[in-house]
Amino acid sequence: MENLQAILTSSTPVLIDCFATWCGPCKMVPPILKEVKDKLGDQIRIIKIDIDRNQQLAAQWQISSVPTLLLFKDGKLAWRQSGVVPAHQLIPLLKEKI
């Protein structure tokens, strides 16, 4: 896998889906992110991070509930939201931020 730091600091904004395999609401997020990717295409990169497998990152980003979406732009956290955000709300919000 590509180095996470390189991904976060690339010129393409990165949306990170922080999830856990045991989390029920997390299972609602993939179809939402697919819709986001279909609409925004190459304007954004989307990656998933399992917080149980990446506990150090979860601690660093202070993830206390899942799902949590993090948007990084130019290596900096530009936006974060916990809980499931419907695609019709998420897409305009991301367009504004990227």
Please identify every residue annotated as catalytic: 23, 26
Query: Contacts by 33-36 with C-beta closer than 8 Å and gap 24+?
Result: 35/87, 35/91, 36/87, 36/90, 36/91, 36/94
